[in-house]
Amino acid sequence: MSSIKFINELEATHTTSLYGLEKIIADNDNCEYLFEAANRVRQKFVKQEVHLKALIEISNICAKKCFYCGLRSKNKSLKRYKMSADEVVSCAKEAAISGYKTIVMQSGESSAFKDDEICKIIREIKKFGVQITLSFGEKSFEQYKAYKEEGADRYLLRIETTNQALYKALHPNMSLKNRIKCLENLRILGYETGSGLLVGLPGSSAKILARDLMFLKKHDFDMIGIGPFIPATNTPLEHSKAGEIKLALKANALTRLLLPEINIPATTAIETLDPNEGRKMALRSGANVIMPSITQGRYHDLYRLYPNKFCLKESVAEIYDRFDDMLALIGDKISLTNGNSVHFNQRQGL
Ligand code: 5AD
Ligand code: SF4
């Protein structure tokens, strides 16, 4: 059976059954129809504007052992780094001067940075008048609270998958329950809260993905990032099959249809699978955010979640101009707002 009636239902009402989602995911004959519907919803709810956010990968040290990730602690062949606070702040300053409205700081999950250091960095960067997004993994309520009180605005923590068995198999010594708790804590603390999925993982299925998407809808996140799994060397999944870009784009489009006002990045993993067209395809199937890494050179090459991770070699300012030009070609433009999602602003009554 064709999935068109479910796509139409989603476009009109932003909801459908689990069965409908599963049908759309399994139907490879109507992908363009799905992408076009997501694009229309994107234009209607979040306009032709794209938020450009500068990503700084502050440390690749990680204490966790996620089976898919090149940063897992058991990967002894990766040289580990931790940027100095001064390096992070000056990188953020350069981005702010170049016009970026949001600085995203990401790291593996570890205590390489002490909370005091993180708080100091947040304080310094806030002086540049930008919004701050953090992505440091699972932390305690008190830690999230301390960062928020210093001025952090947003937090990204992907759920990856909501299937208990799959989650358990891929995340030694971690629990889905705690991850959900972290996401709830972030929301309670007033963060603009983002989550997301890793799609095409070995052991996943259309049914699992449909349930994952329903979870995202139910939790009503402000931002959702979806990337295809890419096998990483020196991990237990290095010989597994990569996720398909089309599946990631479908999940991206479904996310836009389910949650029309949120922010959705065109993820680096999608770009990595198709460096020429990936980003454009994602922007045309629901995405409205680009998060280029500005951790240049020696550090970026070490933030190796998976091989050949897409990276632009230009300066922070040149990357800004490059996207300005690229977006003009497809009829979009860089947003000059602070980068909040329409969804978050509405929740705040802004
Ligand atoms: N392929 C694609 N994405 C990955 N991530 C980690 N390892 C991989 C991989 N091999 C993603 C996870 C994590 C984010 C920081 O990077 O989804 O949340
Ligand atoms: Fe660490 Fe995150 Fe990679 Fe898991 S996905 S090993 S927590 S960096």
Gap from CA of 129 to ligand 2 centroid (Å):
30
Rounded CA separation 93/111 (Å): 24
Task: Find out whether 62 and 109 touch, Cβ atoms under 8 Å.
Answer: yes
157 in contact with ligand 1, CB cutoff 6 A: no
> Which of the four pLDDT bands, split at 50, 70 and 90, describes residue 297?
low
- Helix pair angle (206-219, 18-26), 10° resolution: 130
Q: What is the pLDDT of residue 65?
A: 98
Structure letter (DSSP) for residue 300: H
- H, E, C per residue of 183-206: HHHHHHCCCEEEEEEEECCCCCCH
CB atoms within 10 A of CB 14: 16
Q: What is the pLDDT of residue 301?
A: 83
CB atoms within 10 A of CB 173: 7
178: its two tokens:
């705690």
Q: What is the pLDDT of residue 308?
A: 85
Gap from CA of 66 to ligand 1 centroid (Å):
9
Q: What is the pLDDT of residue 47?
A: 86
Q: What is the pLDDT of residue 350?
A: 78
Rounded CA separation 68/66 (Å): 6
The model's pTM: 0.97
Gap from CA of 83 to ligand 2 centroid (Å):
18
Task: Spell out the domains of the chain, with CATH numbers in brackets.
Answer: 4-347 (3.20.20.70)
Task: Find out whether 249 and 206 touch, Cβ atoms under 8 Å.
Answer: no
Q: Is residue 146 over pLDDT 70?
A: yes
Mean pLDDT of the region 157-177? 98
Q: Is residue 278 over pLDDT 80?
A: yes
The closest-lying atom of ligand 1 relative to the alpha carbon of residue 158 is 18
To test the pocket of ligand 2, the residue of 65, 69, 174, 235 to mutate (highest count of ligand atoms within 8 Å of its CB) is: 69
Task: Find out whether 160 and 200 touch, Cβ atoms under 8 Å.
Answer: no
Gap from CA of 150 to ligand 2 centroid (Å):
25
Ligand 2 neighbours by CB, cut-off 6 Å = 62, 64, 66, 69, 71-72, 108-109, 137
Rounded CA separation 62/172 (Å): 13
Task: Find out whether 272 and 54 touch, Cβ atoms under 8 Å.
Answer: no
Mean pLDDT of the chain: 96
- Kindly identify the ligand whose nearest atom is closest to the C-alpha of 229: 1
Of 25, 48, 51, residue with least CA distance to 254? 25
112: its two tokens:
């390489």
Q: Is residue 290 over pLDDT 90?
A: yes
Of 58, 73, 185, 66, residue with least CA distance to 125? 58
What residue ranges in 159-288 does DSSP mark as E strands?
192-199, 223-228
Structure letter (DSSP) for residue 337: S
Gap from CA of 198 to ligand 1 centroid (Å):
7
Rounded CA separation 24/39 (Å): 16
In our burial notation (b when 16+ CB lie closer than 10 A, e otherwise), range 131-153 reads bbbbbbbbbeeebbebbbebebb
**pLDDT tens digits for 35-88?**
999 999 999 999 889 999 999 999 999 999 999 999 999 999 999 999 999 999
